[in-house]
Amino acid sequence: MKFKVPQFLDIEDKLFGPFTFFEFAYLAGGAGIIFVIYKLLPIWIGIFIIIPVAALTGCLVFYKINNKPFMYYLQAGLNYYIGDKLYIWKQRLVKPEDKKDEEIVMPPKISNIPMISESKLSDISWSLDLETKDKNEQ
């Protein structure tokens, strides 16, 4: 016995022409708010409220991001903005075992290299400085 598997479950039905029920509700609600503002306020004051309401209505009805309605992202943004945020700073405590790892490991000594004392090293450095100055003056 064969059964038909329903497909396209994530696509909403178009009830009012090219609009789904929610798109039509956003469009009717936005148009109603714009009409009320137009009737109650003078046009030069109301235009500053009508334009953002019209833009929001247009985004809710027509604008999709990654094939998801704008309302999805608007709702997620409002939930983030209004919701509680938990900021945790966890101080890292240094254990004595960790300090052993951080110690500088000296390379093994090579016996062929002669050891130079601090005073001998400064004498050699001084003599090199004098030789370079003499060559630069000539």
Instruction: Look at residue 13 and tell me if it is in a domain.
Output: no
Residues 59, 15: Cα–Cα separation, whole Å:
19
Distance CA 50, CA 62 (A): 18
Q: Which domain holds residue 72?
A: 21-82
Q: Is residue 67 part of a domain?
A: yes
At 64-110, the pLDDT tens digits run 999 888 999 999 999 999 998 888 887 777 666 655 555 566 666 66
For 17-53, how does the pLDDT look when each residue is reduced to its tens digit (9 = 90+)? 888 899 999 999 999 999 999 999 999 999 999 999 9
Cα 7 to chain centroid distance, Å, stands at 36
Which residues, in sequence order, are CB contacts of 121 under 8 Å at separation 6+? none
Q: pTM of the entire structure? A: 0.55
The answer for residues whose C-beta is within 8 angstroms of residue 74's C-beta and 6 or more apart is: 59, 60
